[in-house]
Structure 1
Amino acid sequence: MEKNALPRLQYKGSEQQKLTLHLFFQIMGKIRMSCSPRKNHWWYITLYLDTKGFTTGPVPYKNGLETFTLLLNLHNQRLEVFTSGGEEAYFDIFEGISVAEFYLQLKNILKRFGIETEILERPFDLNIDKSFKELEEIRSYDREYVQRYWKVMLWASNVFKDFSGRFYGKTCPVHLFWHSMDLAVTRFSGKRAPKMPSEARISDKDAYSHECISFGFWPGDPNIPEPAFYSYTFPAPEGIEKTTLKPKQAKWVENNGNWLAILPYRDLQEVEEPATVLLDFLESAYQAGARLKEWDVEDLKVPPLRDLLKKTAPKRGQFQQLKNQS
């Protein structure tokens, strides 16, 4: 039985609803990628959680003189486009809208605003051979499913931001990777990772150029058919699957030769303080990978602000001295 206010979310029975939204994300993300300057580890292609829905954030065009933003506004159920020049346009997102119509309407607005984009018009890594403009048959946008998914992701994003602030090392923003539809935040040790084979995908070579421990949430897929939080260490240290995770419901799962720490979302719906439990999971997965990879865990730890204040607070009597001097 659910013990908190986290929304219900499931993969089984919602596969087509998830796929439709996933393809909308891929269209938005590819447009952002086509216009944005390159950044390490593909951080320039992602989407973000917004108080109204999902957004690209500001994207440069006209040689960087202006920006535009795409926003999937879930309050108004429409895709909005607005520019730094004051132009605004939108089209309605309704139940039954096809991926093809979504794509063509968005392209028409961008063309009207003089925003030139060149993208590979095919879905990425979804075993779909048609182009976006041909996908008339994929039309399972479901307002209720998307609202629940967004609220879960918004909550997860806030917890990830809390966790992110506890690490002094290089850390990516909390962002949504549209290729696999997962929300992620990643920590880096600063050490180079072993060179990947020449046949490895370019995306993997750039994403995993350095040692990292990644944390995320996805809404489920055929391999793990339920929404779940995850973490993995790259390169995976030997024996990580033998380490203890928190809470007890979390487990190690082998996936494509790597070990994933998995915490099903449904388990968080059954606890009274889900944010605390999720933070414990993230920390336990981090400790497992960081210590086995010999990261300087203590040096990279950000202490609570109250601890810093204790170290810098004036001693008794110094307050009056400071007041007299001023």
Structure 2
Amino acid sequence: MTFSSHPWPELHYERLQETLAAVQLWTQIVGKIRLVQMPWINHSWHVTLYVSPRGLTTGSIPYADGLFELEFDFIDHRLAIRTSQGASEAMDLRPCTVASFYAELCERMARLHLPVDIYACPNEVDPAVPFAQDDQPRPYAPEQMQAFWQALVRMQPVFTRFRARFAGKCSPVHFFWGGFDLAVTRFSGREAPKHPGGAPNMPLDVMQEAYSHEVSSAGFWAGSPAFPQPAFYSYCYPTPPTFGEQPVAPEAAFFSQEMGEFLLPYDAVRLADDPEEALLQFLQSTYEAAARTGNWDRAALEFSFEQ
């Protein structure tokens, strides 16, 4: 199945990094609003954002008068706030400080009588400057943000198709604002050893609940100073000793000893003759590496045909 006739957009870490650093902090503010309004769902699935036809959305969030939603619109470059009462507000996405973004969002939420009672510091970043005190000027390059989102639009259906092959417990295809990555996670059904933690400014109990059961997780993120290029990743927890030695596809995929996971550069997918198939090969072969070395009950967990 081919999902799109449009080419996958070019992404360059050095052009993306400053805009994405700003947007990651903005999404943390929005994501924390969803976090405090939603009942806890296992593995923090209640906090995530989702790829939408215009950007990234919280989906429906309950409040006293019904439902509301916040959506980052990367076509018109606005943050839209909408309620089930028919009220709405919108603020432009533009170069600004995190403090001014936070202040304006709080003001617009107040106009709609919506709650913003959050822990107002970022997670999974270091240093974790409180939002109201982060007065560093931040750039916003609309064309770069739109390209990043368009890449998510291309890959999200492939992740969904991969998810549909699994009969066991599996996460939604969702976007974590902490790590700023699109991810989908499969579970073996067995409990896992206590996770040691290690993510910056992330409570240990949250990490241990997230990894309470054995997982094989795959996703996409835009890169970091340690690996300055957009890439797909796949890891498992716990990690069997021979996991990184398993054969995976396509040819450009490799195991990073430093990061403890399989990686596939985004460009290897973008430039492939069939990008969707190349990505699907990576997702499937790295899952099989985890399931094989972790002795998962594959007969019980996998569909014998694609749904």
TM more than 0.5: yes
Residue of 217, 221, 226 corresponding to 1:218: 221
- State the alpha-carbon separation in 2 of the partners of residues 151 and 303 from structure 1: 32
Unaligned runs of 5+ in 1: 307-326
After TM superposition, the score normalised by the length of structure 1 is 0.87
* C-alpha displacement of 1:123: 2.0
CA distance in structure 1 between the aligned counterparts of 2:205 and 2:24, rounded to whole angstroms: 22
- Is 2:138 the partner of 1:139? yes
Deviations 1:232-251 (A, max 9, x none): 01100111111111011100
Q: Give 1:115 deviation, angstroms.
A: 1.6
Answer yes or no: is the 8 Å Cα contact 1:122–1:130 preserved in 2. yes
**In the alignment, which residue of structure 1 is the partner of 2:104?**
105
In structure 2, C-alpha distance between the alignment counterparts of 1:220 and 1:138, rounded to whole Å: 22
For the pair shown, the structure with the greater C-alpha radius of gyration is 1
Distance of 1:25 and 1:91 partners within structure 2: 14
Cα distance, 1:97 vs. partner?
Answer: 2.9
Question: Does structure 1 residue 43 correspond to structure 2 residue 42?
Answer: no
Instruction: Measure how far apart 1:121 and its partner are.
Output: 1.4
> In the alignment, which residue of structure 2 is the partner of 1:232?
235
Work out the CA distance in 1 between the residues paired with 2:300 and 2:122: 42
C-alpha distance in 2 between matches for 1:129 and 1:89 = 28
Matches of 1:138 and 1:209, distance apart in 2: 39
User: Which AA in structure 1 matches 2:232?
Assistant: F
**C-alpha displacement at 1:61, in angstroms?**
1.2
Q: Say how many residue pairs are matched.
A: 299
- Residue 293 of structure 2 is matched in structure 1 by 292
Residue matched to 1:60: 62
Amino acid at match of 2:21: L
Distance 1:101 1:41 in 2: 31
- Once structures 1 and 2 are overlaid, which stretch shifts more, 102-111 or 118-127? 118-127
CA distance in 2, matches of 1:116, 1:13: 35
Show the counterpart of 1:203. Answer: 206
The answer on whether the counterparts of 2:71 and 2:81 sit within 8 Å (CA) in structure 1 is yes
Q: What is the CA–CA distance in structure 2 between the aligned matches of 1:197 and 1:129, rounded to whole Å?
A: 21
Counterpart check, 1:264 vs 2:270: no
Corresponding residue of 1:253: 256
Does the Cα contact within 8 Å between 1:20 and 1:138 map onto a contact in 2? Answer: no
Tell me if structure 2 keeps the 8 A contact 1:35–1:117.
no
Secondary structure at the aligned position of 1:17 is classed as: helix
- Deviations along 1:216-239, one digit per CA (max 9) or x if unpaired, are 000111222110000001100111
Going from structure 1 to structure 2, the CA distance change for 1:225 and 1:146 (only over 3 Å counts) comes to same
**Aligned equivalents of 1:294 and 1:115: distance in 2?**
48
Relative to structure 1, the CA distance from residue 14 to residue 77 in structure 2 (aligned partners, 3 Å threshold; closer, same or farther) is: closer
Q: Indicate the larger mover: 259-268 or 117-126.
A: 117-126
Q: Deviations over 1:81-135 (max 9, x none)?
A: 01111111111223x2332222111111111222222212122232234321232
Q: How does 1:175-186 map to 2 (within 5 A)?
A: 175-186=174-185
Percent identical pairs in the alignment equals 36
2:3 counterpart residue number: none
CA distance in 1, matches of 2:197, 2:127: 26
CA contact (8 A) 2:197 2:208 kept: no
| 2:30 corresponds to 1:28 | yes
Partners of 2:306 and 2:231 lie apart in 1 by 31
Residue 89 of structure 1 corresponds to 89
Aligned equivalents of 2:23, 2:114: Cα separation in 1: 23
Greater CA drift, 262-271 or 191-200 = 191-200
Shift of 1:159: 0.7
- The amino acid that maps onto 1:79 is L
Partner residue, 1:123: 122
Task: Name structure 2 gaps, 5 residues minimum.
Answer: 1-5
8 A contact 2:218–2:235 mirrored in 1: yes
Alignment partners' CA distance in 2, 1:251 and 1:138: 37
Cα distance in 1 for residues equivalent to 2:128 and 2:43: 27
**2:47 alignment partner, SS class:** coil
Deviation (angstroms), 1:198: 9.4
When normalised by structure 2's length, the TM-score is: 0.92
How far apart, in 1, do the equivalents of 2:306 and 2:54 lie?
31
Q: Which amino acid aligns with 2:22?
A: T
Question: How far does residue 30 in structure 1 lie from its aligned partner after superposition?
Answer: 0.9
Is the Cα contact below 8 Å between 1:41 and 1:206 reproduced in 2? yes
